[in-house]
Structure 1
Amino acid sequence: MAVYEKQLELLTQQARSTHSSALVVLQDGQRLTEEIMDGLGDRPIETMSVTKSVVSLLVGRAMTLGYFDSVDVPISDYFPEWRQGQKRGITLRHLLTHTSGLQNVPQAGEELYPSHDFVQLALCAELSHAPGTAFAYNNKAVNLIMGFLGRASGRAADQFAADELFAPLGIDQWSWQKDPAGTPHAMSGLQLRATDLARLGQLALDDGRWQGETLIDPRWIEASTHPATPVTDAIGLLWWMLPAWTHYEVTEDNVANVETAGGTTAQLASLRATIGTYQDRSALMRRMSETGLIAPALPAGSRWMTTSTGPLVGFRHDGWRGQHLIVHRPARLVVVRLIAYDHPHVEADGSSFDTIIDQVVQLASTVVAST
């Protein structure tokens, strides 16, 4: 137990040192840690892209209630303007796995925020790839899911969430950002207290069951938290996979890729100094810091490192600024870390590139070893 507690303290220290607003750790539904770290009290915090994990649960709830029969339902069944051409082949699965093929731009906000209607923006998008043939993270396409939920359930997606997901879990403090047309965002925009986000993680860990009631068919949880498309094994139905370990390697080929993409002399020199294999993200980030290399500054599309992963042990979703919802199955752990926009020591437009996921995996290994 001493090792277990030490690793939990290391995770807590990591959360504090990276200016977290809140950290919650549950083990088999019991609280190990619940701490508000920014001095601003327990309040709903913007979850950023972690919103997508809640959208996955909402879709699962809707299917459990019988509003549609399959994740492979064509979107054109609900939006008749897609009943011709290649778009008639786009399914709900494609939207949930970022394989719809809809045209996208790297900075989605450039298209989305000037738009009056996020659903119509997605419906009008051209195709960059045939549906189901390529993975491309696509916030514009994901937003269409909320339009689909509204039409399938006959209720606005946020009202459906309030009635069918939040109320059964006792979640009563939340808000959901909408586009000007009144549709909630699916890409981000859900504000929840860290403790309530942890409840949703626990619901997923418990295969859709809450206090003896099955809210979501366990088959949906199984399908959504395991690889759900042949195009990539990294994603389920809006959940990212959590492997037992991830090793990072920087090779000469990676350097060549960055050089071809137009990397600067300083970037290439720094990257060459980073060549090697790293057992976890923390070690790689330390070495990057030592060489002055900052990954996000590298040319877009450059593969500056190669990753290899171990067997799956859970699932997660992450969000800009450093938001995390992590579920580790063997350890029965649910971990939430959030950073608020009003945090007194974090810039409003800043991001947190840290090692919370590594710390959670290490904590989980000690939990498993102690049971």
Structure 2
Amino acid sequence: MAMTERIDTVLRSGKAPNLHGLVVTRGGEIVLERYGAGVDHRLGDSLGHVAFDRDTLHDLRSVSKSVVALLYGIALDAGLVPGPEAGLMEQFPEYPDLVADPERAHLTIAHALTMTLGLDWNEDAPYTSPANSEIAMELAPDRYRYVLERPVVEKAGRRWLYCGGASALIGGIIARGTGRPLEEYAATALFGPLGIDRFEWSKGDDGLAMAAAGLRLRPIDLAAVGRLVLDGGRGIVPAAWIRELTRPRVKIAEGFSYGYQWYVNTAAPYWVGGIGNGGQRLTVVPDEELVVVMTAGEYDQEHVSAVAVHEAVLGG
């Protein structure tokens, strides 16, 4: 059964009831585009019932992290930010007590990029609850201090632990290094060169772009970001950085690893991508020259729609 037929069978059968958007490209050409309708949110704010089409912006949630990693690579190539091996604490000298803490002295930017900080962090609670560490970070008077002062529970680099705070730190390093707000740097360094002129980046009460989850794009534009990765960066992002961020660095599960803010599925079929709460997905399958973008409305739920469509696309 052809991919398009498999996908439409899933959609007709009701196995993906909360799918909002789907874009599939192969070899740089759009081969499939579908849109639905349903209740949606901009982070915690209800947008009501939305009929989606090509021009509708959608929350990417944690796929934002993967875009931030691309921005870091661009800034790194321009000499505006230190490399992954650089010390993390020294990037935030305004916290001398934390910088001087010997338990944190070994932390590097790479530990943030790979979510192996070894700090106490828990995002198991819903993203509407202050029991969720990312929400607590957003409610804190200083997001960076909140992350960096979390209790040390193990030596960094040993274990992957999902941490939106790590992505917030990377976003802060980019903004400081470039001397521009994260969203402004994204507009000129990445989105502009890709021809993306419509996006939103939700901000916290402190006025800072929420690097971990705040980006809103059209699915068709997120597909362009995926094609950029598939094409080795096209001179917008250094090819060497594309290889670095998509290299498996820490094991999450059998056949599934994490690179630099990108997931790496090392089992067949090999793919790299970003995954966000609600069923947001960006999947790049190099061997098939395939890019798949999904948006959905299954926030704080099992990603039934995204999983069903993902399996249909990949022939599962």
TM-score for both structures, normalised by structure 1: 0.71
**Match runs of 1:164-243 below 5 Å:** 164-209=189-234, 214-229=235-250, 234-243=257-266
Aligned to 2:146: 121
The SS at the match of 2:243 is: helix
Question: Residue 330 of structure 1 aligns to which amino acid in structure 2?
Answer: D
The SS at the match of 1:327 is: strand
Q: Does 1:63 align with 2:70?
A: no
**Match runs of 1:66-215 below 5 Å:** 66-68=79-81, 70-80=83-93, 81=96, 82-84=98-100, 85-106=102-123, 107-209=132-234, 214-215=235-236
Following TM superposition, by how much is the alpha carbon of 1:317 offset from its aligned partner in structure 2, in angstroms? 1.5
Decide which moves more: 217-226 or 102-111. 102-111
Structure 2 spans left out of the alignment, 5+ residues: 38-50, 124-131
CA contact (8 A) 2:282 2:293 kept: yes
Residues in 1 aligned to 2:194 and 2:71: alpha-carbon distance in whole angstroms: 13
Following TM superposition, by how much is the alpha carbon of 1:127 offset from its aligned partner in structure 2, in angstroms? 1.4
Q: Does 1:44 align with 2:43?
A: no
Q: Deviations over 1:19-76 (max 9, x none)?
A: 2111111111100112222234321111111111111111111112222352222123
Question: Residue 354 of structure 1 aligns to which amino acid in structure 2?
Answer: V
The SS at the match of 1:234 is: strand
Q: Does 1:326 align with 2:283?
A: yes
CA contact (8 A) 2:15 2:304 kept: no
CA contact (8 A) 1:226 1:236 kept: yes
Residues in 2 aligned to 1:170 and 1:74: alpha-carbon distance in whole angstroms: 35
Structure 1 spans left out of the alignment, 5+ residues: 244-309, 341-345, 367-371
Greater helix fraction, Structure 1 or Structure 2: 1
Following TM superposition, by how much is the alpha carbon of 1:311 offset from its aligned partner in structure 2, in angstroms? 4.5
State the number of aligned residues: 288
TM-score for both structures, normalised by structure 2: 0.82
Larger radius of gyration: 1
> Alpha carbons of 1:110 and 1:168: their partners in 2 closer, same or farther (altered >3 Å)?
closer
CA contact (8 A) 1:75 1:91 kept: yes
> Alpha carbons of 1:100 and 1:109: their partners in 2 closer, same or farther (altered >3 Å)?
closer
329, 332, 337: which is aligned to 2:294? Answer: 337
CA contact (8 A) 1:331 1:365 kept: no
CA contact (8 A) 2:252 2:258 kept: no
Residues in 1 aligned to 2:118 and 2:66: alpha-carbon distance in whole angstroms: 21
> Alpha carbons of 1:18 and 1:112: their partners in 2 closer, same or farther (altered >3 Å)?
same
Residues in 1 aligned to 2:179 and 2:257: alpha-carbon distance in whole angstroms: 32
Residues in 2 aligned to 1:161 and 1:227: alpha-carbon distance in whole angstroms: 25
CA contact (8 A) 2:250 2:257 kept: no
Q: Deviations over 1:110-134 (max 9, x none)?
A: 5223213322211332212222122
